[in-house]
Structure 1
Amino acid sequence: MSEFGSRLRELRRAAGLTMEQLAESSGVSARAISDMERGHSRVPQARTLAALTDVLGPGLKDTARPGLCEPPRAINDFVGRADELDRLRRHALAGTGQAPVAVVHGQPGLGKTALAVRFADQVRDDYPGGRFYLDLRGTDPEPMPTGDALVRLLRALEVNPRRIGETDDERSSQLRAVLSDRRCLLVLDNAGSEAQVRPLLPGEGGSLAVVTSRRVLAGLEGVERIALAPLVPGESAALLRAIAVQAADPGVVAEVEAVARYCAHLPLALRIAGTRLATRPAWTVEHLVTRLADADRRLATLATGDIGVATAFALSHAQLSKPARELFRRLAHVPGVDFAPALAAVLTGAHPDDAADGLDELVDLGLLQQSGPDRYRFHDLIRLFAQERLRIEEPAGTRAATARRMACWLLETAIVAGRWFEPGYGCLPPDYAGPVPLATADEADAWLQAERDNWLGALRTAARGGQHQLVVDVAEAMHWYSDKYIRAEYWYDVYGLSRAAAAELPDRRQEVTHINYFSWAATNCARRPDEGARIAMDAHRVAVDIGDVKEQAWALRYAGDAWRLAGNPAAALPAYRQSAELAVAAGDHDGYVQLRPGIARALAELGRDEEALAECTAALAEIEALPVAPRPALGARLNARITMAACLSRLGRWAEALRVAEESLPVAEEYGYAGYLGEVHLTIGRARIGLGAPEAARPSLHLARDLLRDLPLSNLQALTRESLQALS
């Protein structure tokens, strides 16, 4: 309640009047009187004050001066933030003697001020000492000096100007003393730093301070930090509907969702988009979608009057140091969603430690988000702003050179990491001196997965730029590694690019190799076995034409895989057998040992389990006898054992099936492919049911169901469901 409101109520009651009686006598509405008494409206206009004074006497005029530090008008169409508002309420009630302080922080445009003002409006009756708002102008070139802020708050708290202290320390002490005796709410908006805001915070007592800032203000101790995120899709749509009548039409739900996506669910962007729509009655939501779809014009579209998304971002950008500004704009080159500090260092040529400091500066100012340990990402609209700054601040030649340096580093690192899984390499080159730790296969795998979108983006850029041999080299380095993630669809893209690149090079043996890889990707990754078979037979014709026996063998093997996965093991079996003969003739031991389990699988799928068992036994013996590289040996050994265990299950030899499957389990875990691991757990579960231990079977079958769920192995999924149903 404001001082004016308190005095109005006091004088009305002293006169023995109800609100309705005062309204009738003065001509001022009862609702207006109620709002004034509760502090819901500002100091009244002169005519209203004169009318009230005529009834209540001159005592009201003394309190009718313009209020200092009054909160701004709350937004009527405020949407969402229920959890954050609830956290603020709970924190306000968590009294420990010290006055509670909450810091609401986040990137520009998230609605930090709107949230704080909304909260202040909701709890106005809980703070009879008054609600006070102060914009600290933390994003201005010259933020409000702490001394000025203290003077404003003390004057708003009705401290006699002549008694206000001379120094900031004295004023801060006075502020704490006044707040300790009153229950007040301070909204300290747009704080620039801990040093600016710390002297303004209450000490002991029942007051509450809500601080908003683009910075985390990590130096403030004992505060509740509430990090704002973009709105969820439903809230974004609700905000647009609340602002613009066109968005409330049930027939434009999809278009409203598209606007929300283009606004990246940022409240400021949504409000601007909704306002543009609302102030242009001739526009449809589809018209707005079309405008926002142009990424180069999106930031310009998200501006109206004196506010704009880019303007909000620019306030934070202006506070960056020169190295951080360079880093910010160059991060726009990153092709993926997120990245690590090593990539930031490559973009600027800085030492990794300096790059990490720059990233922290960007995070602190809300221009970058931390998405995990040592991982960073842009909000979509801030990425567009970074791209805009890049175009404005760096010439085309510099931009191109930076992009090439980044792409080359990503692809060269990908080659080193991928070769950990190549039979001919399997280790780190002795001269490797890169900033990324790749000392083990696990580290190489972790980097390839974490930076997948980035090295894939760089690969596409290299393909568009005609760097054909580099594209082929990267794809070649991934050949054996790709088996670890055999169902990942991006391999279809990788080997489609390498096939096209190899076709532009003079080495036809290299070309047929990558046609074969593309066949494998079409069958196993894109799940298009008919296409995979056609590509494999194209590869076979080229291999025959150039006399490459090894690639003939691989082509027939990939054709056999495609036919078998398409449900035609009868066509696959002779292809596998011919492929095995060619592999022996070519001396390709790695390829040969993988074919024998393939033959066994085809036999098993034809119902010839005894023959399949014999093939598996022979295959396991040859894997141990032949000079085979570790990774191919691991895959062939695992495949043979999985097939053997499944055959034993179908033959009802449950104890043998369980033993072989359990022996296969650590090998499947080491290999890392979910499909193989799911098959092993399925056989373990079925064998335990067959041995009369259904409860022991249940955990393995549940694991099998989860591991096989997203894989195109419908026969195994069906068998898992049947086995689980047998337990119910």
Structure 2
Amino acid sequence: MSEFGSRLRELRRAAGLTMEQLAEASGVSARAISDMERGHSRAPQARTLTALAAALGLDPGGERDLGETARQQRTPAAGRPRLCEPPRAIKDFVGRADELDRMRRHALAGLGPAAVAVVHGQAGLGKTALAVRLADQLRDRYPDGRFYLDLRGTDPEPMPTGDALVRLLRALEVTARQIGETDDERSSQLRAVLRERRCLLVLDNAGSEAQVRPLLPSEGESLAVVTSRRVLGGLEGVERIALAPLAPAESAALLRAIAVQAADPRAAAEVEAVARLCGHLPLALRIAGTRLATRPAWTVEHLVTRLADADRRLATLSTGDLGVATAFALSHAQLSRPARELFRRLAHVPGVDFAPALAAVLTGTRPDDAADGLDELVDLGLLQQSGPDRYRFHDLIRLFAQERLRIEEPAGTRAATAKRMADWLLETAIVAGRWFEPGYGCLPDGYAGPVPLATAEEADAWLQAERNNWLGALRSASRGGQYQLVVDVAEAMHWYSDKYVRAEYWYDVYGRSRAAAARLPDRRQEVTHINYFSWAATNCARRPDEGARIAMDARRVAVELGDVKEQAWALRYAGDAWRLAGTPEAALPAYREAAELAEAAGDHDGYVQLRPGIARSLAELGRDEEAIAECAAALAEIDARPVAPRPALGARLNAQLTTASSLARLGRWAESLRAAEEALPVAVEYGYAGYLAEVHLTIGRARLALGARDAARPSLHLARDLLRDLPHSALQTLARESLRSLA
């Protein structure tokens, strides 16, 4: 019998009460009182103690004495072993302030069922360290004990729930004789004990909902923190904390806390590089910092050099019994066979993220089946969901997937899979790009691809979402000698590229198509792609001098071939380059000669686009009246000629924009406003932010000049915002000056 049990029995008898009478008066069960008196259970918690003291008629002093006896019983004797003791807290713990605050607030809420928090995420994010940190911070709130149990959820055989229940009940000092025989009985006992106490449970590395659900408190003031690589979405009424990699500043702070070399301010750039190469993953950062700290002769730069070798990075991120690859392998081992195949084959994806359709191509399955596999990878923390139906790897997990791919699939299979993926990406890109081509402008008959491309909007959405992937496939095809395919993709993008004219990647696309066309026998195809490359150099890479040189090379080849149409395009691109370089006096005759050649070649699409170019050059030479007349003639030609929709739209918009800006320079503000407002829906339809900004800027300036200051303000703000990321310095300056005049 314990000292508390003896004292309780003595007080009950002195009060002349039987166990049943004390139970009725206090609301505490007779069995619980019997267990306390015989020392078969721990002393009661504060609220139970208060109820017993009141029923026994104790004064405040007597209640304090009884409480002190209870506290002494709850305090283990010196040197006595404790079960389920939490592991040592990490002294150099960094970050996670928001997550800790969320869990503290959840623990202190005190409403409804007992608090349960689930911390989940991929291997190496520091889930255990976070849970132990919280347990250390809240030690005073949970005087009845903080208990830790590794459920071994990533082992081939996780800890059985029954064993976990026994361990927790023993840690809570329920005697072996009292522990129930079945898991249901033990779970009920655990909930009953936790309901009467204030304990914190850290249930680490949970493998499934079924394993952890019987271990959770149901009522009372206890807190359970569950960590798992899985989301454990089947658990209801829990606070779910999804961990992400550390912020760059936190990563650098952790490295500085571990290794003295990283604390040197002169190594700040190298420390940032180490953090980036570690993917800001706490486990990787800790291993990298430890390797640095245990090798005093190393510099941070030396570590950067080692980590920069992608093929050796996972090997470098290993020390002692810790290893990033080892941590990932535990999750990998839990995958089903189809999910393992999907995981390694996703290493073929050239871009940062992807959709289920691409995963289906890699595995030869239906997109719905691929989506199920992706969900399995997400659930185990081997893949991240970056948006609706978009997925991505953590950088280090991608390296692990590449490693598994090399180990598990022969070279021939890898090559065939990579080619199948690349061919599908490029064939789909051609179908999508041709929506914007004058000769196509629709979906081909019989298209049965796995992605929706039924409208130009859907085609644009796919091309943008998968841009890094089809660009990667294009580079692969270029390296692999698939020259005609490279040219076909670039040709399909010719008119689509106008929608994103300032995107620098077109310089790469048309540089590759020019080189590919040079390897093919059709020289007319070659001169076309030299012209496209000139356009990209001038408009996308903002290298007008280079663009002009390339255009004149295209003209030379076109003259050799007798190709009048491509001569016109070459002069048009040379004119664009010279005008952008600030020499409209050179651009004007080039445009005029190009217009004559386009007319001679019967190239109506090219001709109607040259007339606004002539007008722009006139305007830039200060000849605004002539520019306005040229624009009027251009608009008439667009209506009179059989021009394809997209070229007509671009030519119309440029003529309207030039008219509006020339009228503004002439101070004819009312006419300028009308012209700009007519251009607005055309600019919206065209879709290029630079043109839309120019329209709104002219509308805002015109309204301002006409005294409508309030009406001018939203247009000017919108123009400024649209121009923020575009290289239109003159328009940006004009927008800022106009807004300052409103202040």
Same fold (TM over 0.5): yes
Query: Structure 1 residue 279 and structure 2 residue 294: aligned?
Result: yes
Could you tell me which residue of structure 2 aligns to residue 513 of structure 1?
528
2:609 partner letter:
Q
Partner secondary structure for residue 226 of structure 2 = strand
Pairs aligned (count): 675
* 1:216 equivalenced with 2:222 (yes/no): no
2:707: which partner in 1?
692
1:603 is aligned to 618
Q: Counterpart of 2:9?
A: none
Please state whether the residue corresponding to 1:71 is helix, strand or coil: coil
Report the CA distance between 1:712 and its aligned residue: 2.1
Residue in structure 1 matching 2:638, options 593, 605, 623? 623
- 1:62/1:608 Cα in 2 relative to 1: closer, same or farther (>3 Å)? closer
Pairs within 5 Å for 1:19-418? 64-418=79-433
**Cα deviations by residue, 1:293-324 (Å, 9 ceiling, x for unpaired):** 11000000000001100000000000000000
Q: Partner residue of 1:499?
A: 514
Q: What is the distance in 2 between the residues matched to 1:283 and 1:168? A: 54
Structure 1 position 160, deviation (Å): 1.2
Match among 451, 455, 465 for residue 480 of structure 2: 465
- Give the drift of 1:709: 2.1
1:528 aligned residue: 543
Query: How far does residue 379 in structure 1 lie from its aligned partner after superposition?
Result: 0.1
Partner of 1:677: 692
In structure 2, distance between residues paired with 1:575 and 1:349: 53
Alpha-carbon shift at residue 97 of structure 1 (Å): 2.8
* Rounded Cα–Cα distance in structure 2 between residues aligned with 1:167 and 1:182: 23
Alignment of 1:608-687 (within 5 A): 608-687=623-702
Counterpart code for 1:440: T
Moved more, 650-659 or 401-410: 650-659
Deviation at 1:62, TM superposition (A): 5.4
Question: 1-side partners of 2:154 and 2:74: how far apart?
Answer: 42
Q: Distance in 1 between matches of 2:249 and 2:79?
A: 44
Match status 1:716 vs 2:731: yes
Matched, 1:432 2:440: no
Structure 1: distance between partners of 2:374 and 2:436: 33
Partner of 1:725: 740
**Distance change (3 Å), C-alpha of 1:439 and 1:471:** same
Post-superposition offset of 1:65: 2.6
CA distance in 2, matches of 1:182, 1:714: 68
TM-score, length-scaled by structure 1: 0.92
What amino acid is the match of 1:444? A
Stretch of structure 1 that moved more, 280-289 or 224-233: 280-289
RMSD: 1.5
Deviations 1:249-279 (A, max 9, x none): 1111111111111101000000000111111
Q: Are 1:701 and 2:716 an aligned pair?
A: yes
In structure 1, the residue matched to 2:498 is 483
Cα distance in 1 for partners of 2:569, 2:232 equals 60
Deviation at 1:115, TM superposition (A): 0.3
Structure 1 segments of 4+ aligned residues over 3 angstroms from their partners? 57-64
Structure 2 counterpart of 1:571: 586
Q: Measure, in 1, the Cα distance between the counterparts of 2:165 and 2:242.
A: 26
- 1:161 is paired with a residue of what secondary structure? coil
Distance 1:253 1:58, change over 3 A: closer
The code of the aligned residue for 2:212 comes to V
Question: Identity of counterpart residues, as a percentage?
Answer: 87
Measure, in 1, the Cα distance between the counterparts of 2:297 and 2:726. 49
Cα distance between partner residues in 1 of 2:351 and 2:75: 64
Matched, 1:554 2:569: yes
CA distance in 2, matches of 1:373, 1:630: 33
Cα displacement string for residues 416-437 of structure 1 (whole angstroms, at most 9, x for unaligned residues): 0000000000000011110000
1:583 aligns with 598
- CA 1:616–1:62 in 2, change beyond 3 Å: closer, same or farther? closer
Counterparts of 2:705 and 2:304 in 1: how far apart (Å)? 60
What is the CA-CA distance between 1:681 and the residue it aligns to? 0.5
Q: How far apart, CA to CA, are the structure 2 residues paired with 1:239 and 1:386?
A: 27
Unaligned runs of 5+ in 2: 5-71
AA aligned opposite 1:453: N
Task: Give CA deviations for 1:158-213 in whole Å, capped at 9, x if unaligned.
Answer: 11111111111111111000000001100000000000000000001100000000
Q: Which moved more, 1:701-710 or 1:140-149?
A: 701-710
- The Cα of 1:653 is off from its aligned counterpart by 1.3
Q: Which SS does the other structure have where 1:126 is aligned? A: coil
Q: Residue by residue, what CA displacement relative to the aligned partner does 1:71-93 show, whole Å, maximum 9, x if unpaired?
A: 00000110111111101101101
Contact 2:74 2:144 in 1 (8 A): no
Tell me the secondary structure at the aligned position of residue 310 of structure 2. coil
1:361 aligned partner, one-letter code: E
**For the residues of structure 2 that align with 1:495 and 1:547, how far apart are their CA atoms?**
23
Deviations 1:595-629 (A, max 9, x none): 11111110011111110111111111110110000
Give 1:710 deviation, angstroms. Answer: 2.2
Normalised by the length of structure 2, the TM-score is: 0.90
Q: Distance in 2 between matches of 1:393 and 1:634?
A: 53
Deviation at 1:488, TM superposition (A): 0.2
